[in-house]
Amino acid sequence: MAVTLLAGSTFALMPLPVQAQSAPVVRGLPDFTELVELVGPSVVNIRTLEKARSDGVPEGMDEDMLEFFRRFGIPIPNMPRRRGQRPGHPQEQPRGVGSGFILTADGYVMTNAHVVEGADELLVTLTDKREFKAKLVGADKRSDVAVVKIDASGLPAVKIGDVTRLKVGEWVMAIGSPFGLENTVTAGIVSAKQRDTGDYLPFIQTDVAINPGNSGGPLINMRGEVVGINSQIYSRSGGFMGISFAIPIDEAMRVSDQLRASGRVSRGRIGVQIEPVTREIAESMGLAKAQGALVRGVEVGSPAEKAGIQAGDVITQYEGKAVEKVSDLPRMVGNTKPGTRAAITVWHRGAARELNVTVAELKADADEAERADDEEGPKEKPSAAAQQWGLTVAEVTAEQARELRLKGGVRVVSVDGPAARAGLKPDDVIVALGTTDVHALKDFEAALAKADRKKPLSVMFRRGEWAQYALIRPDK
C-alpha cells in the first residue's frame, strides 16, 4: 500500500497487524427468554397477613408502602385506621408483599427475613396460580434470610450457582413481584462484588431494577443458576435508583441449611471489638500495609483473652486466610462452628504471633454491658508530660486492681484535648503505652518521656470488663 503526497513523494504504508485491528468485544445483547422459561416457574409471590386491632394498617397505605417502611426501619405513621376495623376485634389485614423461590421439590422456599417478619399468616402463590398457606421454618435477621415450607410436592426447584465464578460486568436477571406485580423480569449487570454496607454479609451490587416487592426473589446468572437473593436497594425516594444489593447465595445456603435443621442459626464469636487498620496505624505499628482487623477491645474471660489476644493487636489471618479488611473477620468467625479450635495470626508489638482460639457461640441479641469503677482512688498526680496528651492520672488502688483482675496500671482521672478525642474517659485504667507495660505511675511517666510528641501515642486500657485500644494524636 502506498500514498502519494501533493509534492509527489511516495511513502509506503504497512498494513495493521491482525491483533491491532478493531474487533467487536460484545457481539450482541443477551436473550433472556429461555432463562425466564427455565427459572420463572420456581419463583413465588409471598403475601403476609397480620391480625390487626384498632392500631392496624393505616388508611391510605398500601402493601408496598408498608414493605418500604419495614425495609428501612421507619416507624409507621400514626394515621386513621381503615374503615370497618372495629376496636378490640382482630381482623386479618395485608401486611406486605414479597418474593421467594423454591429450594426443594417438596416445598421449601427461600425469601428475606424482613418479608416474613411479624406476619401472622403467610400465603405463597405459584406461577400456576395455586396458593398455599406456608409455615415459617426459621428466619435470621443478621443475614436477612428466611425459609418457609408449603405442603406440596413435585415443585420446580431452582439450580444453585457458584458465586465465586460471578464476575463484575456479567449479565444477571431478577424475577419477583415489584409492587405486587407477579413474575416481573428485570435485567442488568453485576456492578460490584463483596460490597460492604455495614451489614453482616458482603453483598452483590447490581443495576438490576429492584423495587418494593422484589425482596426475596432470585438473582440469576446467564446459566439459569441462582447466585443471590435480592434484598436491598439504595434509594432516596423508595423507588429504584440504579443500585441494588443481593445476598450471595453461598452465604444464604449456609444459613438456610441451619434453619432447616434446627430453626435457628448458630454463629461463632471470640469476644473482640475491632476497627479498620488505617495507613497511619499500620505505619505506627510497623505493618507493611494497612490490612487486617485492629483489636480495639477484648472481653474479659472471652475466647480471645484466653488465647492471648490483646487490645492493640492486629489480626492478620484466620485459619490460614488473610483478613484483608475489618469486615472479613466477623464473617470468618461467624461461619465457624462453636467449639472449633481456630488458628489466628496477630501482629503484636512489631512481630507476628501464632495463636489458637476456641470459638464460642454468639448469643442472640447479647448485651455487652460496660461497667465503670466508681470508687475514688488516691489523689491524682498531674504531670506536664501527661497533660500535653490531655491526661490526668492516678495510681490504681489494690482494691481496684483486684476487682478488675489487673496487676497494675494507672487510673484516668480526667481527659481533654487529644485524649478526649481518642475516646478515653475518666476511670479508664491505662495498662500499656506503646510497647511498654504500665504497672504504676513511674512506668507511665517513663514511657511518656520516651514518646515522640509529634507522633500518635498508642494506649491500651481497661474499661470495666473490656481491654481496649486507642491512638492519641497530638495537637498540631
**CATH architecture of residue range(s) 38-75+90-149:** Beta Barrel (2.40)
d(CA 192, CA 110): 24
**Nearest-angstrom CA–CA distance, 362 and 336:** 11
Query: Which stretches of the chain score pLDDT less than 70?
Result: 1-27, 52-95, 197-200, 234-241, 364-384, 476
H helix or E strand, kind and range, residue 420: helix 417-422
Provide CATH code, domain 384-472: 2.30.42.10
114 annotated as a binding-site residue: yes
38-75+90-149 and 384-472: identical CATH topology: no
> How far apart (Å, rounded) are the C-alpha atoms in residues 476 and 455?
10
Q: Does the annotation list 439 as a binding residue?
A: no
213 is in an annotated binding site: yes
Rounded-to-10 torsion of CA 187, 188, 190, 191? -140
374 is catalytic: no
CATH class of 159-262: mainly beta
Q: What is the pLDDT of residues 93-108, one digit of tens each?
A: 556 789 999 999 999 9
Which of 215, 244, 256, 458 is the catalytic position? 215
- Is 215 part of the annotated catalytic residue set? yes
Cα–Cα distance for residue pair 362/53, rounded to 1 Å: 36
Q: Which helix (H) or strand (E) holds 101?
A: strand 91-102
* 375: β partners: none
What is the model's pLDDT at position 59? 55
Q: Which one from 99, 114, 143, 443 is the annotated catalytic residue?
A: 114
Q: Which of 144, 328, 373, 428 is an active site residue?
A: 144
Instruction: Please tell me whether 214 is known to bind a ligand.
Output: yes
Bridge-based pairing of strands 159-160 and 225-233 is parallel
Indicate the fold that domain 268-361 takes in CATH. Pdz3 Domain (2.30.42)
- Domain boundaries defined on the chain: 38-75+90-149, 159-262, 268-361, 384-472
DSSP-assigned states of every residue in 171-231? EEEEEE-GGG-TTEEEEEEEEEEEE--SSSSPEEEE-S---TT-TTPEEE-TTSEEEEEEE
